[in-house]
């Protein structure tokens, strides 16, 4: 949800292309001399081929298959150059091929889903990379033995760093996946804990209307029909709430928003938030106050505003905030918008790498709503949630 992320990725990709291009030119100038034999020109071809395997956007073949193909090709090339290169050949092992292979090795460790397959592919590629300096040691070039050994030792160290970097990326991604799953599970449990209050609210209304129908069936039978329709509608709404919320049981305590009190709770929330001299305004349209909302939707509206204000306090201190609740067609629209922070603050407005919005989106979607969080042109942030509204009740007695 951070708009800077795609730009950073594009910048890193462009920098990578430039670096690989410079390494390719280095190989070309080092090997492409007029009197060089064909074995000396092979690294100028193998390097771009490894880059194609590394940077190809196609999903097939998979990363581990590409790694195995690169490892096999590299080992064959090493054997060919070490066997047929003559004593007068200008031989280098190929800087571009080595660097691209190291990056591919790191990617194999970081993204291959099956550890065993990834380990096999990584081991094959690691052996191929460490063996590359042996191209400096053709049969008649025994005096290059020290250079070949030194090169293999250096590449062994590079292989270790590539493995460590790939493993770090893998562990980071796995931890992030666990954190997201934990946040989503927390929201599911929280919604399930609200089930008792929601069902009690609906069932109480059904009982009241049923008692009224029993009372009016002799004195005002014409009002019984609308009451029965309301009872049927309330029963359907109760089943809808149960279907959305019954997933698991929550064990810890939770204080939610009681049905019908959401607007007062929003005013209290904004008042507490403005105590630290933050400029915050709340606007609830009259049409929104008259809109019927399911109890779980009211709780989610409160949670959206609460999470958005928390993000403003954490990532944009001193910013002005506007909370607006209105009706958009047959749906309720909640928008929390803040300006840029009053003073420079580390990290972008709205946060980076947190999981609050992940859990919030899980909650909003659980009640059939939608949530978006985007930066604004003035350096601020806008969180918008749209919720379904219930159909108006007609024919209920005052």
How confident is the model over 225-272, as pLDDT tens digits?
787 777 777 776 666 666 555 543 443 344 456 666 788 889 888 888
For 357, the token pair is 């919005």
Angle, CA 175 vertex, CA 171 and CA 181 arms, to 5°: 145
Q: Give yes or no: residues 171 and 224 share one domain.
A: no
Domain count across the chain: 3
Q: Give yes or no: residues 179 and 234 share one domain.
A: no
Beta bridge partners of 335: 324, 384
Q: Give yes or no: residues 46 and 113 share one domain.
A: yes
Question: Which structural domain, as residue segments, surrounds residue 204?
Answer: 194-245
- Is residue 398 a part of any domain in this protein? no
Q: Give yes or no: residues 54 and 145 share one domain.
A: yes
- Is residue 44 a part of any domain in this protein? yes
Q: Give yes or no: residues 166 and 304 share one domain.
A: no
Q: Give yes or no: residues 66 and 23 share one domain.
A: yes
Q: What's the confidence (pLDDT) of residue 285?
A: 92
Average of per-residue pLDDT across 282-307: 87
Q: Give yes or no: residues 31 and 172 share one domain.
A: yes
Using alpha carbons, select from 131, 133, 106 the residue that is nearest to residue 121: 106
Angle, CA 272 vertex, CA 271 and CA 274 arms, to 5°: 65
Average of per-residue pLDDT across 310-318: 82
Query: Which of these three, 141, 159, 184, is where a domain ends?
Result: 184
**b (16+ CB within 10 A) / e for 136-158:** bbbeebeebeeebeebbeebeeb
When the pLDDT of each residue in the chain is averaged and rounded to a whole number, the result is 75
- Is residue 254 a part of any domain in this protein? no
- Is residue 240 a part of any domain in this protein? yes
Q: What's the confidence (pLDDT) of residue 256?
A: 53
Q: Give yes or no: residues 346 and 326 share one domain.
A: yes
- Is residue 103 a part of any domain in this protein? yes
Average of per-residue pLDDT across 288-297: 84
């Amino acid at each position: 949800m951070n708009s800077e992320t795609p730009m950073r990725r594009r910048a890193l990709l462009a920098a990578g292309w430039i670096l690989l291009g410079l390494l390719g030119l280095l190989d070309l100038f080092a090997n492409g001399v007029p009197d060089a034999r064909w074995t000396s020109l092979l690294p100028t071809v193998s390097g771009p081929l490894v880059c194609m395997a590394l940077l190809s956007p196609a999903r097939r073949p998979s990363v581990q298959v590409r790694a195995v193909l690169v490892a096999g090709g590299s080992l064959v090339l090493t054997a060919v150059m070490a066997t047929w290169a003559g004593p007068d050949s200008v031989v280098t092992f190929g800087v571009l091929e080595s660097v691209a292979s190291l990056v591919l090795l790191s990617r194999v460790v970081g993204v291959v889903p099956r550890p065993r397959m990834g380990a096999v592919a990584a081991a094959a590629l690691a052996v191929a990379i460490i063996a590359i300096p042996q191209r400096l040691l053709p049969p008649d070039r025994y005096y290059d033995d020290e250079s070949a050994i030194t090169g293999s030792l250096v590449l062994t160290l590079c292989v270790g760093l590539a493995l460590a970097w790939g493993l770090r990326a893998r562990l980071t991604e796995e931890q992030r996946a666990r954190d997201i799953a934990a946040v989503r599970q927390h929201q599911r449990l929280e919604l399930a804990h609200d089930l008792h209050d929601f069902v009690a609210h609906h069932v109480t209304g059904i009982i009241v209307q049923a008692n009224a129908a029993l009372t009016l069936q002799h004195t005002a039978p014409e009002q019984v029909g609308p009451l029965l329709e309301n009872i049927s509608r309330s029963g359907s709404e109760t089943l809808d709430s149960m279907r959305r919320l019954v997933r698991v049981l929550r064990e810890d305590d939770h204080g939610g928003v009681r049905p019908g009190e959401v607007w007062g709770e929003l005013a209290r929330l904004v008042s507490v938030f403005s105590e630290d001299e933050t400029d915050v305004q709340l606007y609830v349209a009259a049409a929104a106050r008259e809109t019927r909302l399911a109890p779980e939707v009211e709780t989610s509206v409160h949670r959206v505003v609460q999470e958005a204000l928390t993000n403003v306090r954490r990532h944009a201190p001193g910013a002005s905030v506007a909370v607006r609740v209105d009706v958009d067609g047959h749906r309720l629209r909640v928008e929390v918008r803040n300006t840029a922070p009053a003073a420079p603050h580390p990290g972008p407005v709205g946060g980076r790498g947190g999981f609050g919005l992940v859990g919030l989106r899980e909650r909003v979607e659980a009640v059939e709503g939608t949530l978006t969080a985007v930066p604004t042109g003035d350096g601020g942030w806008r969180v918008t949630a749209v919720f379904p509204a219930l159909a108006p009740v007609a024919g209920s007695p005052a």
